Each structure stands twice: as C-alpha cells, then as structure tokens.
C-alpha cells in the first residue's frame, strides 16, 4: 500500500452525459479518440477517452434506468450520486474526481476515520473489450469520499483488482495531440473551506494558496479550486452572480504539444474556441459537461 502521504495519481474524471452517441460525436469533433461503449452491472454505461499519462475521461450515461434505481436503493453510492447529480444539475456535467489506489479497503477505512466517507465500498466486475476485439473480465473496488457541504461533487479511490493488460496505444493517440490531463479545476466561493477534503483525497498535505484559490498536487497532475475571481482571471469563465456554496466540477486542463495545430483542427471542425492566459478554452456543449482547456507542453 502507498503511504497515506504519497500524492495519488489522477485516475479519471466522471462526466455525466445524456447519451453516449452525443458524447462520442462531441469528443470526436474535439479531436479525441473515444473507446467502445461498456456497460456496468448496475445500469450505467460509459465510452471512455484514454490518455498516454494513464488518466482518462469517463462520459457516463444511463443504460437501464430501472437497474440504476434498484442499485441506488440497495446502497450503490456511485449510482446514487449520479442520480442525485442529474436531478439537481441536469444530465450533462462533471460530478467526480477519481484517484488511483493500491488498496481501496484501506482507503475506505481512512476516509471513515477522517469523517469524509461517502458511503459503503463498491466492488464489481464487468466484461472488458480489448483493442484486439477479445473480451476479458475486469474487477474493481471503489472507496468513496464526500463532504456534505458539496452535494454536487464527490471523489473516490479506485483499485483495479483484476484488469487485463492491453496495448491501448491506438486509444491514447488523439488527433488533437492531447497526451494527458495537467489540471482539474473546481470552483467554490471560499476554496480553503474545502482544503482538508481536497488534501485528503489527493493524499497530499502541501497546498499552494493565493487570493484566487488553492492548488493541491497529485502525482502528475493537480487539483485547483478557484473562487469567482480566479475562474475569470485564469480561465475567462464567468460563474455568474450565484452565491451557491460547495465544490463544483468546472474544467479540465489538457496537455497538448501544439496549440496552433489544435486551433486549426477545432476551426476546421466548427468548434468555437477562445484564448485565455495562454490556453485555448472550449465551452461546454451537449456531450461535454465541463470547460475543456488546452495548454502547450513540450
């Protein structure tokens, strides 16, 4: 098991979508390669976008509503949180940040001890289609973390108990040149009110704070929580006059080798884009529930 104070890697982001067809079309227009659809045994389905740095996006849709409702009634935290998010904020958004784990049971115990457990662990298996077309069974354990002050955002640690090794190079090669996720951006009027929760989810006590917000490093990426001024200054995003409290998933900052080439691709695909503080920013759209920001890294 990794030390509790070893920053965890970013595993993936959960992005609720109305349907996978819309999510697929949107991500292809942005220059992403998107994997085949896969179903969970509790009624949800995804079509993931994998990156060379090991992280990925999980556009998440409802495949069988009755199965989801039954799973939520039986205590499935993942599905219950997804249903609550869709009820409160709609079917397209950014609901969860997931870190990697080598021992989800230990993480669950740690979250319970810290008073930030999101509920009972979830263990499940599902068929996984490999790039060569073959199918194997993959198994996972999830340990949930939440803060009751943030009903529309949560986190969890995922342990891959039995996941077949596979060459994903075809899925991690993207026409837009994205190689991974540099930063995950959340918002909250007073970011440091959630410093403890973010630090413990990331397993990193170090925090960089300023008048715009705070940043906590993961292994290979970062979690930043901006206030209203920070969102406007760094990303050109107006969060509006709302005084709503609690963490909200807002943006994903991607690493890309050539912003000029990306800009040309987006223009050719009819995707509006703007430049803010050296980043290209694409606003949310059907199938894309977060702001997508691209920064050049060589």
Same domain, 268 and 190: yes
Same domain, 140 and 218: no
Where does a domain end: 96, 127, 162?
162
What is the full per-residue pLDDT of the chain (298 aa) written as tens digits?
A: 444 579 999 999 999 999 999 999 999 999 999 999 999 999 999 999 999 999 999 999 999 999 999 999 999 999 999 999 999 999 999 999 999 999 999 999 999 999 999 999 999 988 776 666 777 788 899 999 999 999 999 999 999 988 767 777 899 999 999 999 999 999 999 999 999 999 999 999 999 999 999 999 999 999 999 999 999 999 999 988 777 899 999 999 999 999 999 999 999 999 999 999 899 999 999 999 999 999 998 7
**Residue 113: CATH number of its domain:** 3.10.180.10
Same domain, 249 and 134: no
Same domain, 21 and 130: yes
Answer yes or no: is 169 within a domain.
Answer: no
Find the helix or strand (DSSP H, E) in which 160 lies.
strand 154-162
Same domain, 260 and 183: yes
CA atoms of 4 and 201, how far apart (whole Å) = 10
CA atoms of 137 and 209, how far apart (whole Å) = 43
Same domain, 211 and 158: no
Answer yes or no: is 118 within a domain.
Answer: yes
Same domain, 156 and 107: yes
Domain count, the chain: 2
Answer yes or no: is 168 within a domain.
Answer: no
Same domain, 146 and 248: no
* DSSP of 39-96: E-TTSEEE--EE-TTS-EEEEEEES-HHHHHHHHHTT-HHHHHHHHHHHHH-SSS--E
Answer yes or no: is 196 within a domain.
Answer: yes
Answer yes or no: is 108 within a domain.
Answer: yes
Q: What predicted TM-score, i.e. pTM, was given to this entire model?
A: 0.94
Same domain, 49 and 100: yes
Where does a domain end: 105, 131, 162?
162
Answer yes or no: is 5 within a domain.
Answer: no
| 34-60 per-residue burial string, b: 16 or more CB within 10 A, e: under 16 | bbebbebebbbbbbbbbbebbbbbbbb
Same domain, 223 and 101: no
Same domain, 264 and 288: yes
Q: Mind listing the pLDDT tens digit for each residue in 57-109?
A: 999 999 999 999 999 999 999 999 999 999 999 999 999 999 999 999 999 99
Same domain, 116 and 19: yes
Answer yes or no: is 1 within a domain.
Answer: no
Answer yes or no: is 254 within a domain.
Answer: yes
Q: What domain range includes position 237?
A: 178-296
CA atoms of 224 and 268, how far apart (whole Å) = 31
């Amino acid at each position: 098991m990794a030390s509790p104070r070893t920053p965890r890697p970013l595993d993936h982001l959960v992005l609720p979508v109305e349907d996978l067809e819309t999510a697929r079309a949107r991500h292809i227009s942005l220059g992403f390669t998107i994997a085949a659809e896969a179903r969970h045994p509790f009624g949800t389905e995804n079509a993931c976008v994998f990156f060379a740095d090991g992280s990925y996006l999980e556009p998440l849709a409802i495949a069988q509503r009755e199965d989801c409702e039954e799973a939520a009634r039986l205590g499935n935290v993942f599905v219950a949180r997804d249903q609550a998010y869709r009820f409160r904020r709609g079917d397209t958004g950014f609901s969860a940040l997931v870190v990697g784990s080598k021992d989800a049971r230990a993480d669950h115990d740690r979250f319970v001890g810290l008073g930030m457990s999101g509920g009972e662990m979830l263990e499940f298996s599902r068929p996984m289609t490999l790039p060569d077309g073959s199918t194997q069974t993959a198994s996972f354990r999830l340990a949930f973390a939440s803060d009751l002050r943030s009903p529309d955002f949560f986190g969890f640690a995922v342990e891959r108990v039995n996941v077949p090794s596979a060459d994903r190079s075809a899925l991690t090669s993207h026409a837009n040149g994205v190689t991974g996720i540099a930063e995950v951006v959340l918002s909250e009027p007073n970011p440091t009110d959630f410093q403890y929760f973010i630090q413990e989810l990331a397993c990193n006590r170090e925090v960089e704070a300023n008048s715009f917000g705070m940043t906590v490093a993961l292994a290979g990426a970062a979690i930043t929580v901006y206030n209203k001024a920070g969102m406007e200054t760094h990303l050109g995003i107006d969060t509006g006059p709302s005084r709503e409290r609690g963490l909200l998933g807002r943006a994903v900052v991607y690493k890309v080798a050539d912003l000029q080439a990306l800009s040309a691709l987006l223009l050719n695909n009819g995707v509006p884009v703007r430049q803010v503080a050296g980043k290209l920013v694409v606003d949310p759209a059907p199938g894309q529930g977060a702001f997508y920001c691209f920064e050049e890294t060589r």
